[in-house]
A and B are shown apart, each in its own frame.
Chain A
Amino acid sequence: MPEENDDILEQVTSSEYKYGFVTDIESDDAPKGLNEDIVRFISAKKHEPEWMLEWRLKAYRHWLTMEQPQWANVTFPPIDFQDIIYYSAPKQKIAPNSLDEIDPELRKTFEKLGISLNEQKRLTGVAVDAVIDSVSIATTFKEELAELGIIFCSMSEAVQEHPELIKKYLGSVVPATDNYFTALNSAVFSDGSFCYIPAGVRCPMELSTYFRINAANTGQFERTLIVAEAGSYVSYLEGCTAPMRDENQLHAAVVEILAAEKAEVKYSTVQNWYPGDKDGKGGIYNFVTKRGICQGDHSKISWTQVETGSSITWKYPSVVLKGDHSVGEFYSVAVTNNHQQADTGTKMIHIGKNTRSRIVSKGISAGMSNNSYRGLVQVGRNASHARNFSQCDSLLLGDKCGAHTFPYIEVKNNTGIVEHEATTSKIGEDQIFYCNQRGIDTETAVALIINGFAKEVMNQLPMEFAVEAQKLLAISLEGSVG
């Protein structure tokens, strides 16, 4: 590549995190540290029934017996779980009756982030559950959705108002004992979104949760549960940001999705946590367990993610294809810059007959970052005629970054067809030359090529998100893409 181009790539570090401000608001914190009393404290704060507390304590006791996993291709100093505040809520009037009663400071925060909590702004057409630190502060369009029988509310509200649903579904896809971080999350989760789509209902608007970490030294542990009954459809969006702080903060979430017969769930994430500064100081540790189960025949779950943030990402949105003819999809763009580390991918577990899955993963590494794809495609003994296609491509911008792939493929049925392909390369000199020749300068050419590289995934995002995601991609690689 010509030298000027190398210069452009070297400027990668010039990008600035746009959402790094801190909202100055009083908060109600739990004391630092973790023990049974903290679990009880959180449960009491949320006025939870006895069974919920028992569930938490059981998870906590199990967590104590577990060890933090070491297998991921990331390095970080050991986390001191006693140095984290497990509950932090912005002080405000309990249960505001209308959106007007929400602390203006909080509203401003979300407006600054581009999230409208104002229901008059129907133009956006998105129902939002806004979560700040440990609590959900507002959920919009609730009434409209309720008319259709759709339940969309914060997790704490759901525990109070729909205990029978929570009892039935919470932990049914991701059991508390699944792994180290799910056990931790199950013990101390503070809030999150619950979404229930009744049979045959097509949700008319995008549902979305916006996660914001504001307070210092806190960890965010939220849970999302989406239940789509037979024949229903829902598209769900998740967005996240955090202020710029020098110390690392932990985010360990759990997302569970259930899709009944012929139901379809589309889950899109634009992850934009604070990734740490140029020297890798600070940033969010994002250790998330996301899993969906295609319970019924002909059901479909689709994960789309655009990952630009967090200093360490560790997440594998998975689909268990249990129903016959069910479909799982995973589309991902993971961008790492500076000292970021990402170990992300998916699992497709084929159990039912004629199940299909598709994986498209695009990794872009720049700066000193490391980007890994880790995936599992498993075809069980009885999963006849399963079909999988996986593609994972990596693009390297700069000579100090790394790109890695660890795809596991395990097939136990001889009627299945599984294909996997992966490439790793940098932007070709010939591609740049081709563009230059046609009067496109090098910077624009690089931007063009990166956009083209990620397009297959970007196309899967809902329209409202696609624009934001593309901007985000440009910001994350600012300097390298012009």
Chain B
Amino acid sequence: MSNLIHTRLEENFRASNPAQGPLSDFSARSWADFQTYGIPPVKHEEWKYARVSALFRDDLQLPISIPAVTAADIDAHRLPGHETATELVFINGHFVPSLSTIRHAETDLMIAPLSEAAAGADAAFIAANLGHSAAYHPDGIQALNGAFAGAGVFIRARRGKQIEQPVYIYLISDSRTGFIFSQPRSLVHVEAGAALQIAEHYITLGGQESFTNEVFELVAEQNALVDYYKIQHEGSTANHVGTTHIRQTGKCVTNAVTISLSGALVRNNLNMIMESEHGESHMYGLSLLNGKTLVDNHTIVDNVKPHCFSNELYKAIMDEESTGVFNGKIFVRKDAQKTNAYQSNKNILVGERSAANTKPQLEIFADDVKCSHGCTIGRLDEESLFYLRARGLSEQNARSLLLHAFAVDILDKIKWEPLRQHVDALISERLQFEI
């Protein structure tokens, strides 16, 4: 990172963060951390494949003011089923209430700009939970987002409310004027007994490069049910680094599905922190890549308390010159006896110049556990192909059928039907799957 970009980041930080304010302490702390850690260098173990330092170029534009984006600009990108869903809009990292539509009752769902919420009755909750993910990512990228957290959003699913319609979050980078850098931040509180579905959708307007550095933190309480979907389909010039940090503070069930379909450099961090006994978490990922896309999925399951269950399945299909990276960490702390943690990573290399790098990682300090991980890297099974060809399918169709079947495992984990159909359509189109 050059001095120029650093100076501009600093100016931007000073301009966007008042010295006094509910989040000024947090921002200042994050900024200090950013100064300490810096941008992860190429040799940083956690950033070995996702070379994020190359993105901090001199032409990176910092979002000084929010550009004029109209509802019509967004229309083309809305997710199906949006008519009944709550839609929250971020432009270049800033939560914009005027473009957002809240279709849920205030008694079910509370939504407020993070800085506003932090000034009100939720000050204590936000102080205790905002930035919980920082300890898991001691790097400058995570800290940099924290320095600009004031522009984020706060969401609360109220106690006992089974919220059927999803919350869609559109994270829009307006790169019509250049290589834009945006840093959205969200904090979600799912109170005891509440159920919530959230989908994050990333959109780049204009054909130029963009870089999103996001942090999404969620706290799930006793008996909560959370379904989180992350849909990454922004085009080949979009860069993305995102951390999804889910904490279980009570016995509950949390599910996360991460779908990556395009981008230049995409890094998804997903953390499940099992802080309560008998928690259950499921993590699913699908990467369907082409061109020169690099998608790096880093997951952490931290078993703090005993009797938790976690299951993880990540699948990837790499075509052309794309690269798929997977690093799955499972930590089992000393007291977390009777943990069951499973992890599986499956990769198919289609393109001749495609690559897969995977590192499943178990760190276990308790003895009465069952943990396993498995991973495979290979290509389509010749025998299966032959079987289908023998039954009259063209080579192309046989391949598509097998690859689609490979992907369906993950697709089926999307419980919100309109969203599942949407993703299935995207995948089928990519695979030219038509039978």
Answer yes or no: A403 CB below 8 A from chain B CBs: yes
| Residue B396 is within 8 A (CB to CB) of chain A in the complex | no
Tell yes or no: B351 within 8 A of A by CB. yes
Judge if A46 is at the interface, Cβ distance under 8 Å: no
* B337 in contact (CB, < 8 A): yes
Given contacts A422-B372, A422-B373, A425-B370, contact A417 B378 (CB under 8 A): yes
Contacting residues, chain A, for B369 (C-beta < 8 A): 396, 424-426
Question: Taking the complex as formed, is B365 at the interface, i.e. its CB lies under 8 A from any CB of chain A?
Answer: yes
A-side interface size class: 35 or more
Provide the residues of chain B in CB contact with A409, threshold 8 Å: 356-359, 375, 377
Instruction: Point out the residues of chain B lying under 8 angstroms from A396, CB to CB.
Output: 364, 366-367, 369
- Interface residue tally for chain B (C-beta within 8 Å): 36
Task: Find chain B residues with CB under 8 A from A419 CB.
Answer: 374-378
- A385 CA / B367 CA spacing, docked (Å): 39
User: What is the bound-complex CA distance between A411 and B347, given in angstroms?
Assistant: 10
Considering the chains assembled together, what is the distance between the CA atoms of A255 and B355 in angstroms?
32
Given A404-B362, A421-B373: A399 touches B356 (CB 8 Å cut-off): no
Give the docked Cα–Cα distance between A71 and B46 (Å): 12
A198 at the binding interface (Cβ < 8 Å) = no
A418 at the interface (CB under 8 A from B): yes
Asked if B360 and A422 sit within 8 Å, CB to CB, the answer is yes
User: What is the CA–CA distance of A424 and B361 in the complex, to the nearest angstrom?
Assistant: 11
B contact residues around A417 at 8 Å (CB): 376-379
B330 to chain A minimum Cβ distance, whole angstroms, is 9
Let me know if A414 and B379 touch, CB within 8 A.
yes
* B-chain residues with CB within 8 Å of residue A418 when the two chains form the complex: 375-378
User: Which residues of B sit under 8 angstroms from A415, Cβ to Cβ?
Assistant: 379
Total A-B contacts with CB atoms under 8 angstroms apart: 112
Q: Tell me, yes or no, whether B352 is within 8 Å of chain A by CB.
A: yes
A90 within 8 A of B: no
B25 at the interface (CB under 8 A from A): no
For the complex, give the distance between the alpha carbons of A402 and B367 in Å: 8
The reply to whether A425 and B379 contact each other, CB–CB distance below 8 Å, is no
Select A420's contact among B351, B357, B360, beta carbons within 8 Å.
Answer: B360
Partner of B360, one of A1, A71, A399, A407: A407
Is B164 an interface residue when CB atoms closer than 8 A count as contact? no
Q: Please name all residues of chain A whose beta carbon is closer than 8 Å to the beta carbon of B366 when the two chains form the complex.
A: 396, 399
Cα–Cα, bound, A241→B356 (Å) = 42
Q: Which residues of A contact B353 (CB under 8 A)?
A: 381, 412
Contact B361 A398 (CB under 8 A): no
Docked complex Cα distance between A298 and B370 (Å): 40
Establish whether residues B362 and A399, one from each chain, have CB atoms under 8 Å apart when the complex forms. no
A6 to B82, CA, bound (A): 57
Interface flag for A81 (CB, 8 Å): no
Interface status of B190 (Cβ within 8 A of chain A): no
Question: 0/1 per residue, B7-21, Cβ < 8 Å to A?
Answer: 000000000000000
A397 at the A/B interface (Cβ < 8 Å)? yes
Assess the A421–B359 pair: CB atoms within 8 A: no
Alpha-carbon distance between A415 and B354 when the two chains are bound, in angstroms: 11
**Cβ of A434 under 8 Å from chain B:** no
Residues of chain A in range 393-451 having any CB-CB distance to chain B below 8 Å: 394, 396-426
Q: Tell me, yes or no, whether B434 is within 8 Å of chain A by CB.
A: no
Residues from chain B with a CB closer than 8 A to the CB of A404 are 361-364
What are 12 of the A-B contact pairs (CB < 8 Å)? A381-B353, A394-B362, A399-B367, A409-B357, A412-B353, A414-B354, A416-B349, A418-B376, A418-B377, A421-B373, A423-B371, A426-B367
